Structure 1
């Protein structure tokens, strides 16, 4: 029996070399990234990957940064704190 639990999938936002966007995105897909959004003119994209695979994304030539997505929860409009 195995004690390994499934690795958590996390959202990431990446900045890549815009001059090589298509090639870098393909390399990211090969590394296991599921792309959820692309902004080629800005050289950014978003996706989902197993958390333990993030270092493999950072190692790809043309990747400038990899950041985990963050969730911000705003208070309801009728909340006394605004």
Structure 2
């Protein structure tokens, strides 16, 4: 087993300090985040990162929370209640 194997990237959504948004985004990129969306007014951003780098992302000064991106499937509006 090779110790240099990287874990698969996962989608994440971050809440960050909106007053330092640009600086926090750059620091998050430095921790390994590939940014896919920025919402500076809301103080959130989304992106992907290797699963083994999530702890480093949480440690970035100005990152308030890191949540995994999740897909939720809903039945069509005309389907019966289940």
What range is the shorter-chain TM-score in? 0.7 to 0.9
Which ranges of structure 2 fall in alignment gaps of 5 or more residues?
none
Shift of the alpha carbon at 1:42?
A: 1.1
Q: 1:15: which partner in 2?
A: 15
CA RMSD in angstroms, aligned pairs only: 2.0
- TM-score, normalised on structure 2? 0.87
Q: Which residue of 2 aligns with 1:48?
A: 48
CA distance in 2, matches of 1:76, 1:4: 44
Native 8 Å contact 2:6 2:52 kept in 1: no
CA distance in 1, matches of 2:69, 2:40: 19
With normalisation by structure 1, the TM-score equals 0.87
Which residue number corresponds to residue 71 of structure 1?
Answer: 71
For 1:23 and 1:15, how far apart are their aligned partners in 2?
14
Aligned length: 82
Aligned-partner SS, 1:20: helix
